[in-house]
Amino acid sequence: MDSRYTMQERLAGWGTQGQSRLAAATVVILGLGGLGGTAALLLVRAGVGRLRLVDPDRVALDNLHRQMLYDEADAAQAAPKAEAAARHLARVNQEVALEPVQAEFGPDNGAELLAGADLVLDCLDRPEPRLVLNRLCLELGLPWVHAGVTATQGQVLVLRPGRGPCLRCWLPDPGEPALTSARDGILGPAAALMASLQANEALKLLLGREEALLGGMLVARLWPPRFHEVRFVRDADQPCPVCGF
């Protein structure tokens, strides 16, 4: 008899063993907006065993054009995103354990929020907590997948401590970005696309499909459409001050 996972188990290299790996995995999702909410929905549907859902904010009306998990009732009640996300996700797949945490990720609670994780999804919207995440993942040897989106474009990056460059290697000068959501907005389909790509890389990591992983930074722009992969070039004369790569 077919199960809810039959169609993905038919994929080459997946099967019931791969599904068991997903069921045993714990993923921490930091940020439950246009990126994190959609990525969480995809991982829940795929049958990842446990998700820790971390976000300090509440649902607002101007979230709804891009944040797939929430509805008008959530916005009207200003529901905490973590709680609302867990409530909606539980209706999709009751086999997944959901741990909502209404908190802002930072240096004081970061290690606790990452405890027990096999993988982290960076769906944060500010550079400061990302640098904290980068440092903690280096210390813990914890793989993570970064995604970002602004206006009509975004990027996805797989980071594996000790096996390649860290986020600081890629972004040595985390200064003022050329585009900001406060000024330039966010296109709903751009957020959904980057979240799907992020969830895709997460599934590869959890399944152990290293040969299929994204090797560089995938940059996508939707208006006009353009997709390209940026490869990291190491500067041997100036190693990274954080990871030494």
The rounded distance, in Å, linking the Cα atoms of 164 and 166 is: 7
Domains of the chain and any CATH numbers: 13-230 (3.40.50.720)
Q: What pLDDT score does 1 carry?
A: 64
The one-letter amino acid at 16: T
As a whole number, mean pLDDT of residues 174-179 equals 70
The one-letter amino acid at 213: L
Confidence of residue 21 (pLDDT cuts 50, 70, 90): very high
State both tokens at 135: 């440092």
Alpha-carbon 202 to chain mean position = 8
Instruction: Tell me how crowded residue 23 is: count the other CB atoms within 10 A of its CB.
Output: 15
Q: With 80 as the cut, is the pLDDT of residue 212 above it?
A: yes
State both tokens at 26: 């714990």
The rounded distance, in Å, linking the Cα atoms of 207 and 227 is: 25
139-172 confidence digits (pLDDT tens): 999 999 999 999 999 999 999 999 999 999 998 8
The dihedral built from the CA positions of residue 123, 53, 29 and 44, taken in this order, carries a sign that is negative
Instruction: Tell me how crowded residue 138 is: count the other CB atoms within 10 A of its CB.
Output: 18
Radius of gyration of the chain (CA): 18
Pick from 69-78, 107-116, 196-205, 227-236: least confident: 227-236
84-104 confidence digits (pLDDT tens): 999 999 999 999 999 999 999
Query: Looking only at Cα atoms, what is the longest distance across the chain?
Result: 59
The rounded distance, in Å, linking the Cα atoms of 44 and 202 is: 12
Q: With 90 as the cut, is the pLDDT of residue 43 above it?
A: yes
Contact 50, 78 (CB under 8 A): no
The rounded distance, in Å, linking the Cα atoms of 158 and 58 is: 28
185: left (phi over 0), alpha (psi -120 to 50) or beta: left
The dihedral built from the CA positions of residue 109, 111, 117 and 122, taken in this order, carries a sign that is positive
